[in-house]
């Protein structure tokens, strides 16, 4: 599955993307905000990530920024099944922070989630990453009131407090329209 938003092109990861993924995520400041990525992040981690099969209900996209010279990888966004709904996760390479790319990719992922039949999305951010909370609120996620310890592999497996959010796809934004479904094709 592919998705084209206003500025971004979201696409699957291919084995030949491992160097671009590694270059974007191999930053302690990026990885420390993710629960599932290891630190230090090695090239072998990127190779494994890019070669992994992706279940249909758990899409994962590389976020690329098309321009005259190509479409460099600037991040990643995806879903994985969790209790309570499909969990949204994302990262943006440091050189691309503060430009609205996470929000734009998040809106795309919400459309894709509706198109493939998800009814609810959940997400969270570590308390020391308020920028991610702003992105989630901008996307329409609502705080659940829960702050829970969440393991962070990049912080040595430590439990770090994370604020939890939810987005009910059945009551926000209505049904998927034909244009949205076609964009997600």
Q: What is the pLDDT of residues 17-68, one digit of tens each?
A: 999 999 999 999 999 999 999 999 999 999 999 999 999 999 999 999 999 8
Domain span holding position 148? 3-183
Query: Which pLDDT tens digit goes with each residue over 123-166?
Result: 999 999 999 999 999 999 999 999 999 999 999 999 999 999 99
Q: What is the pLDDT of residue 114?
A: 96
pLDDT greater than 50 at residue 182: no
Sheet bearing 9-11, strands edge to edge: 3-4, 9-11, 60-64, 73-82, 85-92, 120-126, 158-168, 142-152
Residue 63: enclosing H or E segment and its boundaries? strand 60-64
Q: What is the pLDDT of residue 60?
A: 97
| CATH number of domain containing 66 | 3.40.630.30
- pTM, full prediction: 0.90
Other CB atoms within 10 Å distance of the CB of residue 10? 26
**How many folded domains does the chain comprise?**
1
Query: Which pLDDT tens digit goes with each residue over 79-104?
Result: 999 877 899 999 999 999 999 999 99
Angle at 128 between CA 90 and CA 79, to 5 degrees: 20
């Amino acid at each position: 599955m592919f998705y084209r938003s206003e500025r971004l092109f979201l696409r699957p990861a291919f084995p030949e993307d491992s160097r671009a993924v590694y270059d974007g995520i191999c930053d302690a400041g990026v990885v420390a905000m993710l629960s599932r990525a290891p630190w230090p992040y090695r090239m072998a981690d990127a190779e494994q990530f890019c070669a992994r099969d992706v279940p249909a209900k758990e899409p994962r996209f590389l976020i690329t920024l098309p321009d005259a010279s190509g479409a460099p990888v600037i991040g990643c966004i995806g879903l994985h099944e969790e209790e309570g709904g499909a969990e949204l996760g994302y990262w943006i390479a440091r050189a691309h922070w503060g430009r609205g790319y996470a929000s734009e990719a998040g809106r795309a992922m919400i459309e894709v989630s509706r198109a493939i039949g998800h009814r609810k999305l959940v997400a969270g951010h570590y308390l020391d990453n308020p920028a991610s909370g702003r992105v989630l609120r901008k996307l329409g996620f609502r705080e659940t009131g829960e702050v829970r310890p969440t393991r962070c592999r990049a912080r040595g497996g430590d439990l770090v407090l994370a604020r939890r959010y939810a987005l009910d796809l059945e009551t926000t934004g209505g049904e998927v329209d034909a244009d949205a479904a076609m964009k997600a094709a």
